[in-house]
Amino acid sequence: MGGHTPGHWGWFGTDHGVYLATRHSGRRFVMGFRRMGMNGAQPTFQIDKKGMIPASELVQFEVGDKAVRGFAEAKKAETVYRYDVVAIDHPDARLIAAAPDMLAALKAWKAAENMADIDAMVKAEGEACVLRDKAIAEAEGQA
């Protein structure tokens, strides 16, 4: 699986469903939703030519073998004894999860730009860089 789907992204849909897709390239799907039982839905993600794959096949677990992906595989793996999900192994899912950290880094950087005190500005820029690096690592699956 490569990197995340290139932007710009937007929300689209009708009364029959909502999905996240690119605003270019013929609206390439980024994330959709699939019914899950009677009361909920789960996200689906585009994987190359495989189409939209349910998140339940891409989840990673808090305990057990970190290479295990999805509930079906976890039920066969002896090392996964709890099904507590900690991530979805997909570049777009990681990017979405990292969005709050990215926003915090951008806000910290913007605040540093507006400081009159050069020492405070340098310190604030350093803190913004730490936030930035954390967000990038999370988005790229290295956190």
H helices present in 9-76, as ranges = 71-76
pLDDT tens digit string along 59-112? 999 989 989 999 999 999 999 988 999 899 999 999 999 999 999 999 988 888
Cα(96)–Cα(93) distance, integer angstroms: 5
Share of the chain above pLDDT 90, in %: 38
Question: What amino acid is encoded at 142 in this protein?
Answer: Q
pLDDT for 2: 67
Secondary structure letter of residue 60 according to DSSP: E
Has residue 121 got a pLDDT over 90? no
| Whole-number average pLDDT of the chain | 88
Which residue would you say has higher pLDDT here, 18 or 79?
Answer: 79
The confidence score (pLDDT) of residue 1 equals: 59
Enter the tokens of residue 87: 């991530």
| Per-residue pLDDT, 76 | 93
Provide, rounded to the nearest whole percent, the portion of the chain with pLDDT above 70: 99
pLDDT on residue 55? 92
The predicted model gives 8-18 an average pLDDT of 83
For helices 118-139 and 91-113, give the axis angle rounded to 10 degrees: 180
What are the pLDDT digits (tens) for 19-74?
A: 899 988 788 889 989 887 777 788 999 988 788 999 999 999 998 998 999 999 99
Cα–Cα separations (whole angstroms), residue 36 to 20, 56, 61, 81: 18, 10, 19, 23
What global pTM score does this model have? Answer: 0.81
